[in-house]
């Protein structure tokens, strides 16, 4: 482990290694990293650190947990890079590691999800109602970001698996096929679990909305 790059020992949010000579694709960088080029792996980290942190943050959502687990994701990717066989995209392989690390962390630490005490406003309830009754989140990036903040209040009551499904699909925008690869599930199973997760989210939404607000709708 003496050859592990310096960034592994630092916070994942502070990684700043950037390749300044050309822009090879991920596969080429992986090939170089497998031959021992640490700068190639550092460039892969630079490209994917933000989204890895977002995936981890969507599942764990505690800052102190996020930094530790994101760091562990890149460490595990570094020591496992020789076993990556190119059958999937590097990003899919990396985000699968991220999801597994989150689940392992939650199981080991028995971390309880954050709870939100504030009720939803009428406008927030309207947006969530659109989400839980429609096929997915609006295409507008601004609307996606706003809705994600609202839905986070409801995700706290879901199981780890349901929360992960919705974070990957709705918050991070992964395709169903990508999610299947990350979670070792076939496409139909992913679709069914997404449907059930949205149903449970809707149930949480209606419970939080309260009987008085429902009667007024």
Question: How confident is the model at residue 142, as a pLDDT?
Answer: 63
Q: State the residue for tokens 């609006």.
A: 138
In 50-138, which ranges are E strands? none
Residue 166 in tokens: 């919705």
CA within 13 Å, CB half, 70: 29
- All residue ranges of the chain with pLDDT < 50 are 1-2, 6-21, 112-120, 134-137, 212-217
Going from the C-alpha of 58 to that of each of 30, 105, 113, 188, the distances in angstroms are 26, 14, 11, 23
Residue ranges of domains in the chain: 6-109, 122-216
- Contact 11/67 with Cβ under 8 angstroms? yes
- Contact 161/179 with Cβ under 8 angstroms? no
Fold of domain 6-109: Rna Polymerase Sigma Factor; Chain: A (1.10.1740)
* pTM for the full predicted model: 0.66
Question: How confident is the model at residue 173, as a pLDDT?
Answer: 84
Class of domain 122-216: mainly alpha
Question: How confident is the model at residue 116, as a pLDDT?
Answer: 38
Q: What span, in angstroms and rounded, lies between the C-alpha atoms of 9 and 184?
A: 30
State pLDDT tens for residues 1-16: 445 554 443 333 333 3
Total Cβ atoms within 10 A of residue 115: 8
């Amino acid at each position: 482990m003496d050859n592990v790059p310096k960034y592994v020992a630092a916070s994942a949010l502070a990684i700043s290694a950037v390749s300044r000579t050309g822009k090879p694709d991920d596969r080429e960088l992986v090939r170089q990293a497998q031959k021992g080029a640490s700068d190639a792996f550092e460039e892969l980290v630079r490209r994917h650190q933000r989204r890895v942190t977002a995936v981890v943050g969507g599942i764990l959502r505690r800052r102190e947990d996020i930094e530790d687990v994101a760091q562990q994701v890149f460490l595990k990717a570094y020591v496992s890079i020789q076993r990556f066989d190119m059958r999937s995209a590097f990003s899919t392989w990396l985000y699968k590691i991220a999801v597994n690390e989150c689940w392992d962390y939650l199981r080991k630490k028995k971390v309880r999800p954050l709870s939100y005490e504030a009720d939803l406003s009428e406008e927030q309830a309207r947006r969530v109602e659109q989400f839980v009754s429609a096929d997915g989140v609006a295409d507008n990036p601004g609307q996606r970001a706003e809705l994600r903040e609202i839905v986070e209040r409801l995700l706290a009551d879901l199981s780890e698996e349901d929360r992960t499904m919705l974070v990957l699909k709705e918050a991070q925008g992964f395709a169903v096929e990508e999610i299947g690869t990350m979670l070792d599930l076939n496409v139909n199973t992913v679709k069914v679990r997404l449907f059930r997760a949205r149903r449970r989210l809707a149930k949480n939404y209606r419970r939080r909305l309260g009987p008085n607000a429902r009667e007024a709708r």
